[in-house]
Amino acid sequence: MKRYFLLVLVLLGAVPALIAKTPVIGISAYSEDGRCQVNMTYINSVRMAGGVPLVIPVTSDDAQIAAIIATIDGLLMTGGEDFDPLKWFGEEPVRGLGEVVPARDEYDVKLVRAAVAAGIPVLGICRGEQLLAVAFGGSLWQDIPSQVKDSYVKHRQSPTTGTIGTHSITIEKGSLLARTLGKEKAVVNTFHHQAIKDVPKGFRVVARAADGIIEGVERSGKLPDFKDGGAMILGVQFHPEIITNGGNPEFLPLFQKLVEEAGK
């Protein structure tokens, strides 16, 4: 009897440790020159937010992706190359289209769909925001300068460091993005020439640049055409991780929100 009593005490003592488990945040990688890698700015931002970063190698193997999804508590989809427009939203490529990496497209789409189906919260950054459209039935502007005639904001501010903002965005009042940042206006960095054009069902636009280009999206309800576990889905077109690593905590709450949701 004493042995069982001790066992119960041990198990009860383990409960707080289980509850206090630090969320593991998977970070999507890119593949280059025979290596899978990710910028340290993403890793550091997750650490600063209180999560454990786990870099996910590029793969299209369904069993491996399922095993990865079973390991992580949250998912951060990173920036990178352009998407193949013909495969993912049925458009011929325009002249301004940049580098396309089919293996990464496949990996990103499978990974984010699996996370959403499993009820794992997702934060998409730059390409990661565009991925939310590509993976769930929307489309992209392949090249803003040549396709969006009314666009007058410079959305690709290279070669700036990215640690300071270069154009403003307006955030929808009451949105998850506005509540997380505690504001309805922000000045952001910008390194893109693509953007979401058609927003998929189940998502809504929550931030725009002054020229109307979409700068933030989040779920508006259940995704009707895909398996959906109902967790947070949030995407931003700018790079909060660079500003965060530059010592400005203005956008750290985005990563803290991901970690918070991942801990539920």
Residues tagged active-site:
126, 239, 241
Burial 195-204, CB ≥16 within 10 A → b, else e: bbbebbebbe
DSSP codes of every residue in the chain: -HHHHHHHHHHHHHHHHHHTPPPEEEEE-EEETTEEE--HHHHHHHHHTT-EEEEEPP---HHHHHHHHTT-SEEEE---SB--HHHHH--PPPTT---B-HHHHHHHHHHHHHHHHTT--EEEETHHHHHHHHHTT-EEES-HHHH-TT--S--B-TTS-SSS--EEEEE-TTSHHHHHHT-SEEEE--B-S-EEEEPPTTEEEEEEETTS-EEEEEE-S--TTS------EEEESS-HHHHHHTT-GGGHHHHHHHHHHHT-
CA nearest neighbour of 237 among 198, 201, 206:
206
